Structure 1
Amino acid sequence: MGSVSRPRGNTFGESFDVKVLDQLLKQFGLHPDDVVTLLRYAPLGLTHLAWRNSVLEDWHAGPESRISDGDMFRTNAATTEVFHANLWPAFAEDFAAADLLDRQALDEYDVDVLEGAFYAADEEVFDPERVLPNGMTLLELGGEEVPLLQEHGARQFEALLEQADEKGVHVVVSWLALRGAVSCPQWWLSPRWPSVVDAFLNRLDDNEDSFWSLGGYPEALPAEFNDRPGIRRTLLTAPYDLSADAAQFCVGPGGLRFIRLEQPLRVG
């Protein structure tokens, strides 16, 4: 990940206060000892922190946007999968043995476990030759600004490892889970995503849904939506495999990002 200096400052460090984290997790319906759910949200937190909340936003939202909303949707999903695929195997053996039943079990892990997962994800996510779902490489998308994205990701990983070394692996996992639950609770791979997909498809099947009162029901849907079971399966398992038209429809006229689920009840 390179020799990038770690961010300093009281505000960042104080956000890893265990008591505060516990309170906030419960407010968002997450129990601090529910390690499985924490590790469902943690990859989303990593994606938001190290990838999405970066110079990538300038490439996307600037006056000369380099990447569409639909392609951002697909790329964020593909990136989340990388973080998920590297973070979960670090704990897989203990999951299989049912030994990860509370947060204290996470502190049996050395920080090296997180470092290895972060390093592997860093190598894949920020590789300039990585091919994105729209067919472009990261280098083709970012050009000479790719190092800015790489440095941003490295700084986030290093700061998280510093906190894990000082306060424990479970604190960092909790912090990432909270970030995922707060910033992207309805992204792909979150526990809420299947309900989001069902609500989205139910809306498409009801041309009198109140959502259509503003822009009207679409005159034509992308061809993939003719196969409702098929599109549901793709949305649930691999939204990065959607066509460009289907992805753009989802986050554009289809209003996928405007699905609103009821917030979970407070835990404890």
Structure 2
Amino acid sequence: MTETEFDYATAISYARKHLASLGVTPEAGNLANAAAVGITQLVWRNGPIEDAHAGARGRRNGLHDGVMFARNTWVYHQALEAVRSDASYALLQFERLILDRELIWPGTSGTLTQFGFGALGEIKKHAKQRVNYLMFLEEKFSSEEFMLLAAVSSMGGSDHFGMPAWEPRARAAIDRIRGADPDFVERLNSVYEMDFSEFMEKAPAIVHDDLPEVERALLWAPYDLGADVLDWFAWNPVLERLP
């Protein structure tokens, strides 16, 4: 056994055990979801686009938290489709979609050309390198082993959208919005020095008018809410991680 093979074998074993501790297993039917989260992290989220978002370029290009929230959850769905696809070169189709400079980003009115202006070359290079790596893994390993390796990057975001812990986190947010979580109301007062009614006054209209749709979107496709609504949720205490 070569050193390289040993490294991959160790990584696969570690990923299997650690993901199982997060509730992700082939038997549970959610390994593809975790792989899609990992691919989103590896190819898109943890790269030049995040650097652009965090700096002056992000402010200039309108790349705010809500845009990133919408984009990341949409990219996850494209990654999930690629992982589940039996088509040859599904990952290349995924790459083409996320690097399409003219495609309107769902939940926004802008494109990669607009949001990534000034970093387009870096974004393209980063995505292509990592998709090439994923295609190497896909060819070298079995489907399950590939998904385990692809999911490695998901383990740092155990309650991100697409992971098992996201659903209770999102449902808890809905309960908090309904005023059904006294601990949250108290935390608003003690930590954020904000009354619950004051907090809710700042919520987007859809939070008041159609909470069932907010719940559906948070659980299945947050980008359906639109970037401006998601900007309210991003880093919002109502969506803070569960203890």
TM-score by length of 1: 0.74
Structure 1 residues 20 and 202, CA gap change in structure 2 (3 angstroms): same
| Structure 1 unaligned residues grouped into runs of 5+ | 1-9, 91-112, 262-268
CA distance in 1, matches of 2:51, 2:235: 19
Name 1:140's counterpart in structure 2: 114
Deviations 1:5-44 (A, max 9, x none): xxxxx8998255333333333333333x437211121111
1:79 aligns with 2:53: no
Name 1:5's counterpart in structure 2: none
Work out the number of aligned pairs and report it: 226
Kept in 2: contact 1:139–1:146 (CA 8 A): yes
Q: 2:204 aligns with which of 222, 225, 230?
A: 222
Name 2:53's counterpart in structure 1: 60
Q: Counterpart of 2:231 in structure 1: which amino acid?
A: Q
Kept in 2: contact 1:42–1:177 (CA 8 A): yes
Name 1:24's counterpart in structure 2: 18
More helix by proportion, 1 or 2?
Answer: 2
Name 1:211's counterpart in structure 2: 187
CA distance in 2, matches of 1:71, 1:196: 20
Name 1:246's counterpart in structure 2: 229
Name 1:176's counterpart in structure 2: 150
Name 1:131's counterpart in structure 2: 104
| Structure 2 unaligned residues grouped into runs of 5+ | none
Q: Counterpart of 2:227 in structure 1: which amino acid?
A: A
Kept in 1: contact 2:23–2:164 (CA 8 A): no
Q: 2:33 aligns with which of 37, 40, 60?
A: 40
Structure 1 residue 58, shift from structure 2 partner: 1.1
Structure 1 residue 144, shift from structure 2 partner: 4.2
Kept in 2: contact 1:118–1:157 (CA 8 A): yes
Q: 1:118 aligns with which of 72, 75, 91?
A: 91
Structure 1 residues 142 and 168, CA gap change in structure 2 (3 angstroms): same
TM-score by length of 2: 0.81
CA distance in 2, matches of 1:134, 1:154: 24
Q: 2:133 aligns with which of 140, 159, 162?
A: 159
Q: Counterpart of 2:242 in structure 1: which amino acid?
A: R
Q: Counterpart of 2:161 in structure 1: which amino acid?
A: W
The DSSP-based 3-state class of the residue aligned with 2:119 is helix
